């Protein structure tokens, strides 16, 4: 009953079709091939994989108001495959509604797969695609877009080295491969054959690898979440292994490390690889790590001059801040000229104390103040001008 129904529809299609598509520019061609394995379209497909051929129409003559096209899926050397799947519903070109929006009736029909490798209609799968136009718009002159996909797969290990092919075929209702009711067949891009290949389990590729990372050495913990994509469906979900560099990487791909000041300027290379099965690694991700430090700087007191009478003491104060997370330490260099009096600096606050001697009178002394975060340092000067006058002495007496 189903075969009679299809036959009647196709006959109606041919009777009602008009506006023939003529001309050398009319063509049916494979515009793309998905899920093949290998560098070329006509190359290989993996065992267990799927080939999807996308077929396009190019209309160079009158509008295409009906069609009766057939394609054959076969193996010339005896491979097995699954029943082809036809999709005519959703493929569209720019500003072009799909097949079913252009026709009032469409038909997709298959032979049952026999998989006997005879390479002809009787022994392979014929995919028939028919359409007819009553009120629809058809395919207009100038149309050149994908309209249908044919997919097949299910290849087995025993099929390795054999071939699966797609070619044009006469539609079984009338043994013709036509557009509309014309006996002029559109051109076909030709037979496409693929070698069936037992694809090895390929290791997953890390998708967010970078050449380098520049990170400060301060808390919080430095982290990077790695991600990976497996090029095939073989093996388990990707896990991650760190094979070089500081820190640790979890199986889920989270790298973490808390650097310190000692890591600044050291050359590190973080090496992480993804695997699906134990030892089945993809390419290594190598990242140059650069841990940075910002030097401290002075904020106040540099260049100040403090006057002090000879034999007296005085203080000068400088202030500094760390560039990032270290505590700033203060120290003194050698004063110029060298004083006779004693001197010191508070290593925490930056306060310089000078106890001048009487013989220091009449001189101006330059005290170099040094700040450091433990890795880099800076210096500025404070000055003490020792006066030659005797210091005032104040005596307070109490009258009886």
What's the CATH number where 226 sits? Answer: 2.60.40.60
Single residue among 135, 163, 197 that ends a domain in this structure: 197
Q: What is the pLDDT of residue 110?
A: 65
Query: Does 55 share its domain with 142?
Result: yes
Residue 17: its pLDDT value, please?
Answer: 36
Are the CB atoms for 72 and 124 separated by under 8 Å? yes
Kindly state whether residue 215 falls inside one of the protein's structural domains: yes
Q: Is residue 393 part of a domain?
A: no
Regarding whether 359 and 231 lie in a shared domain, the answer is no
- 286/164 same-domain check: no
Secondary structure of 11-78 in HEC code, one letter for each residue = HHHHHHCCCCCCCCCCEEEEEEEECCECCCCCCEEECCCEEEEEEEEECCCCCECEEEEEEEEECCCC
pLDDT given at position 93: 54
- Its pTM stands at 0.57
Per-residue confidence (pLDDT) for residue 22, from 0 to 100: 37
282 and 222 inside one domain: yes
Last residue of a domain, one of 292, 327, 348: 292
Report yes or no on 392 lying in a domain. no
- Put residue 302 in one of left, alpha, beta given phi > 0 → left and psi -120 to 50 → alpha: beta
Q: Give the CATH number of the domain where residue 351 resides.
A: 2.60.40.10
Q: What is the model's pLDDT at position 20?
A: 36
* 24 and 138 share one domain: yes
Same domain for 344 and 266: no
Q: What is the CATH number of the domain that holds 112?
A: 2.60.40.680
CB-CB contact of 367 with 354 (8 Å) = yes
Let me know if residue 310 belongs to a domain: yes
165 and 76 in a common domain = yes
Do residue 173 and residue 38 come from a single domain?
A: yes
- Are 144 and 10 in a shared domain? yes
**How confident is the model at residue 320, as a pLDDT?**
97
Contacts of 135 (CB under 8 A, 6+ apart): 104
The domain of 339 spans 297-387
Judgement on whether residues 18 and 136 belong to the same structural domain of the protein:
yes
Q: Give the pLDDT of residue 355.
A: 98
User: Domain boundary residue among 177, 197, 217?
Assistant: 197
Contact of 13 with 130, CB cutoff 8 Å: yes
| Judgement on whether residues 91 and 162 belong to the same structural domain of the protein | yes
| Per-residue pLDDT, 33 | 82
* Tally of structural domains, the chain: 3
The per-residue pLDDT for 199 is 74
- Tell me, yes or no, whether 274 lies in a domain: yes
Based on the fold, state whether residues 183 and 226 are members of the same structural domain: no
Quick check: is 256 in a domain? yes
Neighbour-count burial for 25-54, b at 16+ CB within 10 Å, e otherwise: ebbbbbbebeebbeeeeeebbbbbbbbbbb
Taking only the tens of pLDDT, the chain with its 400 residues reads 233 334 333 444 433 333 333 344 778 888 888 776 665 555 677 777 788 888 888 887 777 777 777 788 888 888 888 888 887 655 555 555 666 677 777 767 666 554 444 444 455 787 877 777 777 677 778 888 888 888 888 888 888 888 888 888 766 555 556 666 555 567 777 778 888 887 778 899 999 999 999 999 999 999 999 999 998 777 899 999 999 999 999 999 999 999 999 999 999 999 999 999 999 999 999 999 999 999 999 999 999 999 999 999 999 999 999 999 999 999 999 999 999 999 999 999 999 999 999 999 999 999 999 999 999 999 999 999 999 976 566 666 766 6
- Please report whether residue 399 resides in a domain: no
Spatial separation of the C-alpha atoms in residues 149 and 89, rounded to whole Å: 10
The verdict on residue 15 lying in a domain is yes
Report the alpha-carbon distance of residue 97 to residue 81 in Å, rounded. 32
């Amino acid at each position: 009953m189903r075969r009679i129904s299809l036959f009647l529809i196709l006959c109606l299609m041919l009777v009602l079709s008009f506006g023939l598509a003529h001309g050398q520019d009319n063509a049916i061609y494979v515009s793309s091939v998905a899920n093949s394995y290998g560098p070329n379209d006509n190359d290989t497909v993996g065992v267990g994989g799927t080939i999807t051929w996308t077929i396009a129409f190019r209309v160079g003559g009158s509008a295409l108001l009906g069609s009766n096209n057939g394609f054959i899926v076969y193996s010339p050397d005896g491979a097995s495959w699954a029943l082809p799947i036809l999709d005519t519903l959703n493929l569209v070109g720019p500003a072009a509604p799909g097949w079913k929006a252009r026709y009032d009736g469409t038909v997709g029909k298959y032979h049952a797969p026999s998989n006997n490798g005879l390479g002809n209609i009787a022994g392979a799968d014929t995919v028939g695609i028919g359409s007819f136009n009553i009120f629809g718009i058809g395919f207009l002159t100038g149309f050149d877009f994908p309209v249908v996909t044919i997919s097949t797969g299910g290849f087995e290990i025993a099929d390795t080295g054999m071939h699966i092919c797609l070619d044009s075929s006469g539609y079984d209702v009338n043994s013709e491969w036509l557009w509309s009711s014309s006996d002029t067949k559109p051109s076909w891009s030709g037979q496409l054959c693929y070698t069936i290949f037992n694809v090895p389990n390929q290791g997953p590729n890390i998708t967010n690898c970078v050449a380098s990372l520049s990170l400060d050495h301060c808390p919080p913990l430095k982290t990077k979440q790695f991600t990976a994509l497996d090029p095939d469906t073989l093996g388990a979900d990707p896990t991650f292994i760190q094979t070089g560099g500081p820190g640790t990487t979890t199986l889920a791909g989270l790298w973490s490390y808390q650097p310190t000041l000692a890591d600044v300027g050291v050359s590190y290379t973080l090496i992480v690889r993804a695997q699906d099965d134990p030892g089945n690694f993809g390419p290594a991700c190598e990242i140059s790590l650069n841990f940075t430090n910002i030097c401290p700087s002075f904020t106040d007191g540099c260049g100040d001059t403090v006057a002090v009478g000879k034999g007296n003491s005085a203080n000068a104060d400088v202030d500094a801040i760390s560039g990032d997370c270290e505590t700033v330490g203060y120290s003194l260099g050698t004063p110029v000229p060298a004083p006779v009096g004693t001197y010191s600096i508070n290593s925490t606050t930056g306060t310089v104390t000078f106890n001048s001697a009487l013989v220091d009178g009449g001189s101006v002394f330059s005290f170099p103040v040094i700040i450091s975060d433990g890795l880099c340092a800076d210096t500025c000067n404070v000055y003490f001008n020792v006066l030659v006058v005797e210091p005032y002495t104040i005596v307070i007496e109490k009258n009886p």
